[in-house]
Amino acid sequence: MQWDAWGDPALAAPLSEGTSTLIRGMLGVSGEITLPTLDPSTVTVSPSCLSDADLAGLRGIVGDGFASTADADRLLRAGGKSTPDLLRRRQPTQDAPDAVVLPATDEEVAALLAWCEENRVAVVPFGGGTSVVGGVDPDAGRFRAAITVDLRRMDALIDLDEVSQVATLGAGVTGPDAEELLGERGYSLGHFPQSFRFATIGGFAVTRSSGQASAGYGRFDDMVQALTLVTPRGTLVAGRSPKNAVGPDLRQLVMGSEGAFGIVTRVSVRVHRVPAVTEYEGWRFNSFTDAAAAFRAVAQEGVMPTVMRVSDEVETALNLARPTEIGESSDDDLPDKQVPGGCLAITTFEGSPTAVAARAGVVREIFTAVGGQSLGPGPAQAWEHGRFSGPYLRDALLDIGVGCETLETVTSWANLDALKTAVTAALSEALPEPTVVMCHISHTYATGASLYFTVVYRQDGEPLEQWMAAKRTVSQAITDAGASITHHHAVGRDHRPWLSAEIGELGVDALRAVKDVLDPAGVCNPGKLV
């Protein structure tokens, strides 16, 4: 990934004229570049606190070519990819880890943790670096230094049990690599978060990731059969059967731990045969309320599409108004080029022809009964074509002084409308007028759904402080509304102040007790989770 932006530099592009015109009209900005990017060679990186002897010790564990204190290597692991992270990347002086090490085996990870404990050095696990909640910030805490442990060398398909349809993958395998490795054997994982192209199997597990096909295949924590966690106290292998009654499920303890208990090195996950067919269908609903009712009916019927998502009226209008190269769809994808108004929903169905036809038939019946109007396959196909491109738009907007950030939450169906209203109001009040707040549902359950918000606003004053103040306001609004502070972005550093409000002080103490057992010196990812 780019050191100071999202994704592949070859895919980055300036704003198109159509999008620039739209943004200028909405927010009253000039469209001129006001926040330029920096040449990394001009950035002053915090000096490494490690000595030559420290570096020699690390290289003695992982090999001479796999431990570095070079500024260029450290700058690449200076943080994640939230808007605050990217704003910090545009500052002339930046913090970075004191070293980057790349282990290749569980034994090397264990030796690194022992060395760090003995030498009072914090350890920050690093996969794809896509965290948007401060989860990979190189925080030394009370320790004398912090190193980043990059897991990219642990990138193998270790085992594929084709009878049970369970694959064991190294924690450093990326989403595309997982699909390629499995695809060679006729299988797919089917986990496609927006970070898919860069995030890793280990990262998916420790953050409780949820992909765009969660309706059909479940969240990542639904897929996990077993994990190997290397801790300063030893190695924990959690999970040996699909389900059991052997006390609390330790897999659930490891998932969501965000590197605070140790480093996940391998994950066994449920996989499926590459689907024989995929069917696409877009839908129009008169309102977000109608669409939510339709989604609830489908989820409670239990016959789910593979992908099921719906944009509210604002998100629908903006996606239809902007060109397809940066959007999800355009009016060209709709029948007779007619912009439908209301809300645009997307469904896809994967599997055998018989199974796809049966599930699609049930969903069509439910959607039609609630007033849904089929738009054919075009909108869903267009969304799939551009579904990983959205974050690139944020980088181009930052250039012209426009903030663009996302946040997500989850609640019950009964509380959905009230939560959406509360979050929209909190963002609108915390940021300068006019602020554009968009929302969609992309993860649904029988009892509730996740709301995913995108906010676009004019940056005033100090951009980093402006957004962090808004983030605090909206996070409190989510908590006050009785919803979860996060559905799939994890806790990290940014959500930690609201953890106790959600799980209670006793719950926080229980997590701290686990950390005290597995990581008694506290070297594992300080400042995150607990």
- Cis peptide preceding 434, ω within 30 of 0: yes
pLDDT over 70, % of the chain: 96
CA-wise closest residue to 282 among 291, 271, 269: 291
Residue 322 has a pLDDT of: 56
What is the band of 320 on the pLDDT scale with cuts at 50, 70, 90? confident
Residue 13 has a pLDDT of: 83
Q: Is residue 201 a contact partner of residue 184, using CB atoms and an 8 Å limit?
A: no
Tens-digit pLDDT profile for residues 418-476: 999 999 999 999 999 999 999 999 999 999 999 999 999 999 999 999 999 999 999 99
- Range with the poorest average pLDDT among 1-10, 156-165, 244-253, 322-331: 322-331
The residue-averaged pLDDT of 152-156 equals 98
The residue-averaged pLDDT of 505-515 equals 98
Tens-digit pLDDT profile for residues 38-67: 999 999 999 999 999 999 999 999 999 999
Q: Print burial letters for 446-469: b (CB count within 10 Å at least 16), e (below 16).
A: eebbbbbbbbbbbbeeebbebbee
**What would the 3-class secondary structure string for 281-315 be?**
EEEEECCHHHHHHHHHHHHHHCCCCCEEEEECHHH
Residue 371 clears pLDDT 90, i.e. is over it: yes
In this prediction the pTM is 0.95
Residue 230 clears pLDDT 60, i.e. is over it: yes
Q: Which domains does the chain show, CATH number per domain?
A: 9-13+34-150 (3.30.43.10), 157-273 (3.30.465.10), 277-386 (3.30.70.3450)
Residue 323 clears pLDDT 70, i.e. is over it: no
Residue 321 has a pLDDT of: 67
Tens-digit pLDDT profile for residues 282-297: 999 999 999 999 999 9
- Range with the poorest average pLDDT among 9-13, 136-140, 153-157, 265-269: 9-13
Residue 390 clears pLDDT 60, i.e. is over it: yes
Q: Is residue 98 a contact partner of residue 146, using CB atoms and an 8 Å limit?
A: yes
Q: Phi and psi (nearest 5°) for 44?
A: -90, 115
- Parallel/antiparallel/unpaired status of strands 157-161 and 234-238: unpaired
Question: What is the distance between the alpha carbons of residues 451 and 474, in angstroms, rounded to a whole number?
Answer: 13
Question: What is the distance between the alpha carbons of residues 455 and 411, in angstroms, rounded to a whole number?
Answer: 20
DSSP 42: G
**What would the 3-class secondary structure string for 184-215 be?**
CCCEECCCCCCCCCCCEHHHHHHCCCCCCCHH
Q: Is residue 381 a contact partner of residue 333, using CB atoms and an 8 Å limit?
A: yes
Angle between helices 463-480 and 416-430 (to 10 degrees): 150
pLDDT over 90, % of the chain: 91
Question: What is the distance between the alpha carbons of residues 367 and 293, in angstroms, rounded to a whole number?
Answer: 9
What is the band of 329 on the pLDDT scale with cuts at 50, 70, 90? very low
Question: Within 10 Å of residue 374's Cβ, how many Cβ atoms?
Answer: 14
What is the band of 17 on the pLDDT scale with cuts at 50, 70, 90? confident
